[in-house]
Structure 1
Amino acid sequence: MSIQDQESFLSKIHPFEVLSPSQMAMCVQHMDIAYYPKDTILIAPEKIPNYFFIIIKGSVYEYSKENIVVMDYQSEDTFDSNSLIYGQCEHTFKVHEELICYEIDKKAFLSLIEKNQDFKDFFLKDLVNKIQTLKDKEYTSQLSSFMIAKVEDTLIHEACLVDENTKLIDAIDKSMQYKTSTIIVQSNTKEYGIITDSLLKVKVLLQGRDLSIPVKDIAIFPLLTIRDDDYLFEALTILVKKNIKRVGVTNSNGEMIGVLEQIDILSHFANHTYVIESKIKNAKNIEDLKDASKDFIDIILSLQAKGVKIHHISNLIGQLNTKVYQKIFSLILPENLQKDACLFVMGSEGRNEQIVKTDQDNGLIVKDGIDVEQYRPYMQQITDSLIFLGYPPCDGNIMVSNPYWCKSFSDFKSTIIKWLNNTQDMKNFLDLAIFVDAFAVAGDKNLLIELKEFLSSKIQNDIFMAYFAKSTTAFETPTTISSFMGKNNLINIKKAAIFPIVQGIRSLSLREKIKETTTVKRIKILEQKNILEKDKAAELIEAFEIVNTLRLKNQLDLLQQNKPISNEIDIEELGKIERDLLKESFKIVNEFKNFITYRFNLNKIF
């Protein structure tokens, strides 16, 4: 292989592309090709190498002290910088398939680290930052202002700011000078409120009030605000969730600096979120909703193609799904019945983590003293309507049309007691697990809040929690990717990585009586409670983001090919960096399983 070929090979491997031409030449000058047969020990605690390895062909396994495979290395993978930098290694690196590799001399490698800061930063970063660097490299071609735009990057309208005691007529005059229909009111306690044209019509014109009244008499407090250094996408999510058209923008000191309008955000993003939201809001029947919900996939495709983080996508789609449920509830259920019941979603819908429509998980709580039977025909209509809108029926029949999931408040309390008392029936644990993620979408939401508080008050048993958490380790998480290569090439990403994180975090959250349902938010709360160390929490969030992103990408590909949705990912279809990210994620998941095993004493139950 010529020097040019060697340089070309290295430049494809991160972070060697950051080397200057002279540094690359020095690297190649101190690099040789080596061959090692199967089972050769390359690195061990008692055998620190004199080389940095880059695989051309073959594979190497990294073993822990317990002789467990923790990582596998294949073509274009590199190892082990830590051994060279720190002069020690706790693990053993062994050739799994006969190896042809480049070896860079230790002195040359350490010299490159000292001469090139970017090169050095990559090898000295912690795991989370390394993953982030790989992600940035993988999605550089997809990144746009859409993903990284901050509020300050778009149009912020100058605030027409008045004191709460300002006469309304003077405030209107000032707003005309500012050429705005929005008046921001500041109270004596530094709280902000808002007056809009529609508010003037309702509270002044229709009521015949005098324009000399102080603005505090009609202003709405508090005004929702967002900071200028927040992501623009977060502002869009707030507008969709709260069904409002503008938010105030503050600086880091909490001072009002302007107003952000929905129309300006949408023009920046250029997607059809507002159009879909309007279609849902104005739908007169289920057919109208069908027209709105079929556009969801276009939004998902657009956001995913532009590199938007998956938790932002799921949050936005979750808000739209909630609006669909609310509209169906109002269209189907007579108004007099709506106030006496609570419609809720569970599972991935309840966690706000279902992006592509997979299945329904929903239920209905009816107030005690109200006849549940009168609700049943309408619940069947809700299930049928959701199917019509593209939400597949649940294989386990966890739907409002099933009487088990549509009953009175007291009956649900009895069911909860049954779930907690019968640890021999795994179905009880499964039902409880999805109910823990329940989120109210329509009706009297206090019914669900009170039920979940009742559940929380009844969980006292460590043995029960151990059995509940045990399913975290139910499915195998691969320690190597190469074991799937050349065979069926398929890995069930949900069983291998997504479910263990979800269930493990759900178990910790249930024990700590955390009310939040979204996995990432639960992780952050557990970190705040010192249940998870900061680094562990960050690793879990990164791994969860990676595996969900890979699953979404796969599911969208299947949808576009008119194939059934699946959680199985073809390893052969992944790029080099995607495989690296997946390997790092599996490592994090396996470490988390060990953490859950320890925290819940899973080894002591059978």
Structure 2
Amino acid sequence: MSLRDQKAFLSNIHPFELLTEEQMDYCIRHMDIAYYAKGEVLITPEKIPNHFFVIIKGIVHEYNEDQVLMDFHYQDSFDANSLIYSKTKNSFKVYEDLICYEIEKEVFLELIEKNDGFKNFFLNNLVNKFQSLKDKEYASELSSFMIAKVEDTILHPPCIVEKGTKLIDAIDESMQRNTSTIIVRGENNQYGIITDSLLKIKVLLEGRNLNIPVEEIAIFPILSVHLDDYLFEALTLLIKKNIKRVGVVNSKGEILGILEQIDVLSHFANHTYVVDSKIKNAKTLKDLKQASEELVDTVKTLNAKGVKVNHISSLIGQLNTKVYKKIYKFIVPEELQNSACLIVMGSEGRNEQIIKTDQDNALVVRNGVDVEQYRQYMQEITDTLIDFGYPPCEGNIMVSNPFWCKTVEEYKRETARWIEAPDMQNYMDLAIFFDSFAVAGDKKLLINLKDDLFNKLHDKDVFMAYFAKATLTFDTPSTVANLMTKTYNIDVKKTGVFPIVQGIRSLCLRERIRETTTVKRIKILQDMKVLEEEKASELLEAFEVLNTLRLKAHLQKLQDGKEINNEIDTHSLGKIERDLLKDSFKIVNSFKKFITYTFKIDKIS
């Protein structure tokens, strides 16, 4: 390779692109190409290298005793730790003939000392490495975030009254226009503003007469932005002035509408506000269906903006909850609604289902109320959800199934059976039920059942060990490259997401934690000192990466018109995504060992 080619090669590898021009030239001057045959050992605890390796071609495996911990290939580099600390517990062996660059140890350490970004990547813990890689991978996706204009979001039509208008008449006008903001027009296109809070302070608390002219309490001038201003500038103004709304004017200074803080924040975080409004204003099931159909487009928009996947799932979960609540209201007769509780379970209950992959729901009916009178409405709810695009559950965990539609007392008997006569199906049913979340009706019915469940599990250590053992059901790969050369599809749910969900769920069941979302559960467990801060942070990062890759694959399959599953094509991953996936699997395997030790799983058959 020419010097230019070498520079281009290194610049594509994080964090080498952080080096200055001079530092990059210095690095290249002290870098050579080397060849190693298959089977050669490059690093051992007794053989600390004098070089930092960057792979051009071939594969290297990192071992701890006989276990493969990590694989390295094209554009991967190793091993900073052995150079920095002059020791290692692991060995690095060539798995496939290797061509690589070797950077002199002294030069590598000098670059670490002189470049903070370079140093932070290699010296920080795994969580900070995760963040650095993610910043590099997804930084370009935020560009659309920053170029949105005021005209790209929702503007509320202004209620404009002339100076001299009686306050009571202005209030009447605002009510007819269904707005809480009154704009007062003065001379020379100068505008003032009256808000709800201003009315409370200046009229109610001060006891003023409603027949006063509006200008006596209006604030002049209203702070405003132009229609073609960047939305980020409007957000900055709102935050700086600690206000909830600004006026929007044209080039002539004429007011065109009101920009609310909630709409600006909604635009920057998501596009859910428009969908939310449509759900809220839906008057029929047809209206509601049209609103719910926009959820996929909302997910695509949020993902394209680089919004974190746990925020996406939380927002979509809230919207799904509102859809469920409306369906319940439209279908179940009013006199029956508060005698039962509609719940969602599994990934829906955890607010972790982003794309509609199935539905897990149930109905809890108050004791003494005839369940049979709900049957036809539950069937209608299932049919409606299917029509809305929520696929039926393959395991028939739906309100239309009599097993998942019964009284509180019947559910209590069922949970007792799950615990006293455990088998794989009962473990699964309990896990799904524990993640339940009330979306409509009397939520106290579910609270009662959760209390009863916690009481039944007191001192059930053996049961909890078997319950937690499900964390180990699926193997998690220690490498990605070996799968790339054989079968290149990995079920990221089975290998990564499920072990984290089930392990955390087991800890929360033992600790009587009611929270259902995995991310919040991890944070609560950290606060309770059940998880150390570093382990909790690693789990949060790994969970984010795994779900981000899964969502990306889901959206690609939607675009290609393929059936959605949880497999990701490792051949489609970029280098940084592959690194993130490998590190995530490493964290998952470590977490499995933690769960095994915590619940003493090795002591049971």
Change (3 A) 1:297 1:29: same
Change (3 A) 1:196 1:273: farther
- DSSP 3-state at the match of 2:287: helix
Measured after TM superposition, the shift of residue 487 of structure 1 is 2.1
Q: Which of the residues 259, 263, 266 maps onto 2:244?
A: 259
CA contact (8 A) 1:182 1:196 kept: no
CA contact (8 A) 1:55 1:74 kept: yes
Percent identical across equivalent pairs?
61
CA contact (8 A) 1:60 1:72 kept: yes
CA contact (8 A) 1:300 1:313 kept: yes
CA contact (8 A) 2:244 2:261 kept: no
Residue 525 of structure 1: aligned partner: 524
Measured after TM superposition, the shift of residue 182 of structure 1 is 2.4
Q: Distance in 2 between matches of 1:311 and 1:485?
A: 28
Residue 61 of structure 1: aligned partner: 61
Deviations 1:333-373 (A, max 9, x none): 00000010000000000000100000010000000000000
Residue correspondences, number: 528
CA contact (8 A) 2:539 2:587 kept: yes
Measured after TM superposition, the shift of residue 486 of structure 1 is 2.7
Change (3 A) 1:428 1:599: same
CA contact (8 A) 1:379 1:400 kept: yes
**1:380-529 correspondence runs (5 A):** 380-423=379-422, 425-460=423-458, 461-529=460-528
**1:114-133 correspondence runs (5 A):** 114-133=113-132
Q: Given the two structures, how large is their TM-score scaled by the length of structure 1? A: 0.83
Deviations 1:398-441 (A, max 9, x none): 00000110000100000010011112x21000000011100000
Residue 37 of structure 2: aligned partner: 37
Q: Distance in 1 between matches of 2:559 and 2:386?
A: 20
Change (3 A) 1:533 1:61: same
**Letter of the structure 2 residue corresponding to residue 438 of structure 1:** S
CA contact (8 A) 2:57 2:73 kept: yes
Residue 11 of structure 1: aligned partner: 11
Structure 1 unpaired stretches of 5+: 156-167, 186-193, 205-209, 214-248
Residue 371 of structure 2: aligned partner: 372
Q: Distance in 2 between matches of 1:429 and 1:377?
A: 29
Measured after TM superposition, the shift of residue 488 of structure 1 is 2.4
CA contact (8 A) 1:56 1:101 kept: yes
Q: Distance in 2 between matches of 1:283 and 1:120?
A: 55
**1:95-134 correspondence runs (5 A):** 95-134=94-133
Select between 370-379 and 6-15 the one with higher mean Cα deviation: 6-15
Residue 27 of structure 2: aligned partner: 27
- DSSP 3-state at the match of 1:551: helix
Confirm or deny that 1:2 pairs with 2:16: no
Select between 539-548 and 95-104 the one with higher mean Cα deviation: 95-104
CA contact (8 A) 1:147 1:308 kept: no
Residue 230 of structure 1: aligned partner: none
Measured after TM superposition, the shift of residue 76 of structure 1 is 0.3
Q: Distance in 1 between matches of 2:72 and 2:455?
A: 48
CA contact (8 A) 1:144 1:307 kept: no
Measured after TM superposition, the shift of residue 575 of structure 1 is 0.8
Deviations 1:164-187 (A, max 9, x none): xxxx99xx9x998961322179xx
**Letter of the structure 1 residue corresponding to residue 407 of structure 2:** S
**1:134-173 correspondence runs (5 A):** 134-144=133-143, 146=145
Residue 599 of structure 1: aligned partner: 598
Q: Distance in 2 between matches of 1:146 and 1:511?
A: 42
Q: Distance in 2 between matches of 1:71 and 1:374?
A: 58
Q: Distance in 1 between matches of 2:123 and 2:474?
A: 33
- DSSP 3-state at the match of 1:307: coil
Residue 242 of structure 1: aligned partner: none
Change (3 A) 1:487 1:393: same
Confirm or deny that 1:50 pairs with 2:57: no
Measured after TM superposition, the shift of residue 23 of structure 1 is 1.4
Confirm or deny that 1:295 pairs with 2:297: no
Q: Distance in 2 between matches of 1:512 and 1:145?
A: 43
Measured after TM superposition, the shift of residue 18 of structure 1 is 1.4
CA contact (8 A) 1:489 1:572 kept: yes
Deviations 1:253-300 (A, max 9, x none): xxx943363554268449652332222223233222221111111111
Structure 2 unpaired stretches of 5+: 155-166, 172-180, 185-191, 211-237, 246-259
- DSSP 3-state at the match of 1:142: helix
Measured after TM superposition, the shift of residue 39 of structure 1 is 1.8
Q: Distance in 2 between matches of 1:53 and 1:515?
A: 48
**Letter of the structure 2 residue corresponding to residue 545 of structure 1:** E
**Letter of the structure 2 residue corresponding to residue 487 of structure 1:** K
Confirm or deny that 1:180 pairs with 2:178: no
Deviations 1:68-126 (A, max 9, x none): 11111111000001111111101111111111111111111111112222211211111
Deviations 1:31-64 (A, max 9, x none): 1111111221111111111110001111111112
CA contact (8 A) 1:372 1:408 kept: yes
Q: Distance in 2 between matches of 1:111 and 1:453?
A: 59
* Coordinate RMSD, CA, aligned: 2.7
**Letter of the structure 2 residue corresponding to residue 11 of structure 1:** S
**Letter of the structure 2 residue corresponding to residue 464 of structure 1:** F
CA contact (8 A) 1:147 1:307 kept: no
- DSSP 3-state at the match of 2:13: coil
- DSSP 3-state at the match of 2:506: helix
Select between 485-494 and 347-356 the one with higher mean Cα deviation: 485-494
Change (3 A) 1:54 1:303: same
- DSSP 3-state at the match of 1:418: helix
CA contact (8 A) 2:263 2:273 kept: no
Q: Distance in 2 between matches of 1:10 and 1:179?
A: 57
Q: Distance in 2 between matches of 1:311 and 1:262?
A: 23
- DSSP 3-state at the match of 1:96: strand
Change (3 A) 1:211 1:450: farther
Select between 499-508 and 290-299 the one with higher mean Cα deviation: 290-299
Measured after TM superposition, the shift of residue 585 of structure 1 is 0.5
- DSSP 3-state at the match of 2:326: helix
**Letter of the structure 1 residue corresponding to residue 551 of structure 2:** L
